[in-house]
Amino acid sequence: MEQKKPNGKALLPIIVFLVLYLGSGVYFEYIRPIEGQMGFYIMSVVVAFSIALIVAMLQNRAVSFDDKIHICAQGIGDDNITIMLFIFLAAGAFGGIAKEAGGAVSIANMLLSVIPGGFAIPGLFLIACLISMAMGTSVGTISVLVPIAAEVAANGGFHLPICVATVVGGAMFGDNLSFISDTTIAATNTQGVQMKDKFRTNFKIALPAAVLTLLILIVYALRGDAVSMGSYEFNTIQALPYFAVLAMAIIGINVFIVLGTGIILFVLAGALTGSLSYVSAFTSMGNGTSGMFETMIVTILVASIGSLIRENGGFAAILEFIKKHFSGKKGGMAGIGLLTILMDVATANNTVAIVMAAPIAKTITEEYGIDPKKTASLLDTCSCIAQGIIPYGAQLLIAASLAGISSIAIIPFLFYPFLLALCVIVSIILEK
């Protein structure tokens, strides 16, 4: 690949995006909030990126418009981007039919039914981890479990923000490691690595953080009273496909086979239990894929913007900056982690943050000789750390809304994201 001359001005499209999206979010979230709406979701991320793309197109007049279109097409047509788009479609269909078949509610209630009374809070954390890994969505997990966490807090005399933070932490653990999470899909495909390889690298970082979190929660739970978790109805047949998908993913079976098998299993489970009809099955898959359209459009826009920024010397400018401030392989990894966190803080969306940081991270990876599996792990993990902590992210906003508390009140008790950040730092320090 031709080495471009560093040009800081080429980063203007990113700055324009951040000013539009972050500025609008801060304004409508904290300065002039609109009742019933989340400030960071008023300005469409697609619109903000579209304007950024126009700015990128207007730069570098030495390159013709037709050539710029070709540069964008090359970015969009990259093998990894194409694979990622197809996986997003499959994951959307899987998520849609799994929800319609009753799988999400059944697996949550099944696990809740086996929690001992004295193990309520640590049990919620473990269940959030498992459900999020199976569903591939932290927001979905939070939506299902936070109302239950609120009941546990009320019945057991526990501090409500701790119970809610426990669910959020577990949801981010599963989202970070799930094979069908859009963050995993984005992190692995942009770096050209296998999901199972990224999982193994990631697990070594996430497991210590999860174990430490669990120990803290066990100590806290022992200080409170035992609480009855109540009775939750579930259908074993509707829950089983999730376990099958999780097992296949961990074994390392191709993600398309995993998702395709999962869809078939949920169709069968829905037919056997009467939760799905011919119409509802196909409608739910259609709704699921439609839910992925914004993510896919963002991926296409970012791939285009990234290609133009690279062509104009923007990536070379970032690499030059990192070389000045971070030395060696460990410095390169620290730079990737910091870049991803900053992107997530700015966008309040971990998938978007990964897609934005990924091409720059790949350049850093090649320059510093970093293992691509480690880079994919850092992208996914660091985006989830930031997303699990920022008070204006969808995860904390939804959790706070369901629990009837402020998102700020949850932050001090987010043991898992903070411990995960510590484990990332340690993993970089110990890297050979």
* 409 is a domain residue: yes
Residue 196 domain-assigned? yes
> What one-letter code names the amino acid at 69?
I
Q: What pLDDT does residue 428 have?
A: 94
pLDDT given at position 423 = 96
Instruction: Classify residue 1: in a domain, yes or no.
Output: no
Strand ranges for 1-116 from DSSP E? none
Long-range pairs of 148-151 with CB within 8 A, sequence gap ≥ 24: 148/112, 148/124, 149/124, 149/403, 150/402, 150/403, 150/404, 151/230
Tell me the residue length of the chain.
Answer: 432
Comparison of pLDDT for 170 and 295, the residue scoring more? 170
Tens digits of per-residue pLDDT, 296-326? Answer: 888 888 889 888 988 898 878 887 887 788 8
Do the domain assignments include residue 25? yes
Query: pTM here?
Result: 0.75
Which pLDDT value is given to residue 119? 77
Among the listed residues 231, 236, 242, the one whose alpha carbon sits nearest the alpha carbon of residue 113: 231
Least reliable range by pLDDT among 193-207, 240-254, 354-368: 240-254
Domain boundaries, position 65: 8-430
Number of domains in the chain: 1
Residue 2 lies in a domain: no
Q: Residue 399 in contact with residue 168, Cβ under 8 Å? A: yes
Contact status, residue 384 vs residue 176, Cβ threshold 8 Å: yes
For position 303, what pLDDT does the model report? 85
Give the residue among 312, 297, 295, 301 at the shortest CA–CA distance from 12.
Answer: 312
φ/ψ bin of 142: left (φ > 0), alpha (ψ from -120 to 50), beta (otherwise): alpha
Q: Given a cut of 70, is residue 66 above it in pLDDT?
A: yes
**Does residue 127 lie within any of the structural domains?**
yes
Position 292 scores a pLDDT of 81
Give tens-digit pLDDT for 18-53.
888 888 888 887 788 887 777 767 888 889 889 999
Q: What angle do CA 182, 131, 402 make, to 5 degrees?
A: 90
Q: What is the DSSP letter of 30?
A: I
% of the chain surpassing 70 pLDDT = 94
Q: pLDDT band at residue 224, thresholds of 50, 70 and 90?
A: low
| Burial 134-170, CB ≥16 within 10 A → b, else e | bbbbbbbbbbbbbebbbbbbebbebebbbbbbbbbbb
pLDDT tens profile 114-138: 777 667 788 889 888 988 887 777 8
Calpha distance 142→243 (Å, rounded): 19
Closest to 79 in 3D by CA, of 186, 197, 184, 192 = 192
